[in-house]
Amino acid sequence: MHEHEVAPGGPDHDHRRPAGVDDTTVEALGALSKALETTERARGRLYDFHQLTGTADLQLDHAVRLLEEAGHPEWAAKVRSEILGRNVIPGHWTFQIVEAYNATYYRPFQQLETSAVQELAQGRDHLYEAEMKEERRTCGHPDHTARPPAGGT
């Protein structure tokens, strides 16, 4: 087989390189996709930060109640006024940071990557990975099939 020829039973149409798309373009789109995937991971950590900070703030209610029950109303008041509901950075709760990240960075990056794949590879995503899979799989082996079973996931 020649480079980028597809073996019988190889990748489906959506994961085959369109005619005229060169190796460097496939590699560039793969790198762009990988960078977006890294951004997805960073975004997940931002949501972790958002949820953990919110959980901590809600847990302060319990701490305030216990300080009051223990006879330390001045400390309960201090926690309530100094920390409970405090901005995490000037003017921002974590939801506002998430919203700004999504609007300013994440969605534009996602839209640009989608546009690049559409324009440069006829919308066929993951070509780099599909070709790597084809190179690495053992044809005929039941656990190295190119595609999911018909009607499967």
Identify the DSSP state of 70: T
pLDDT band of residue 136 (cuts 50, 70, 90) is confident
Is a pLDDT exceeding 50 seen at residue 2?
no
Q: Is 89 helix (H, G, I), strand (E, B) or coil?
A: strand
Q: By the 8 A CB rule, do 34 and 132 touch? A: no
Q: How far apart are CA 36 and CA 29, in angstroms?
A: 10
Q: Count Cα neighbours of 51 within 13 Å in the Cβ-side half-sphere.
A: 6
Is a pLDDT exceeding 90 seen at residue 88?
yes
Range among 22-26, 30-34, 136-140 with highest mean pLDDT value: 30-34
Q: How far apart are CA 82 and CA 74, in angstroms?
A: 12
Q: Give the pLDDT mean for 62-78.
A: 98
* 89-93, 108-112, 126-130: the lowest-pLDDT one: 126-130
- CA 117 vs. chain centroid, Å, equals 17
Q: Give the pLDDT mean for 53-79.
A: 98
Count other C-beta atoms under 10 Å from residue 11's C-beta: 20
The structure tokens listed for 38 are: 């890294």
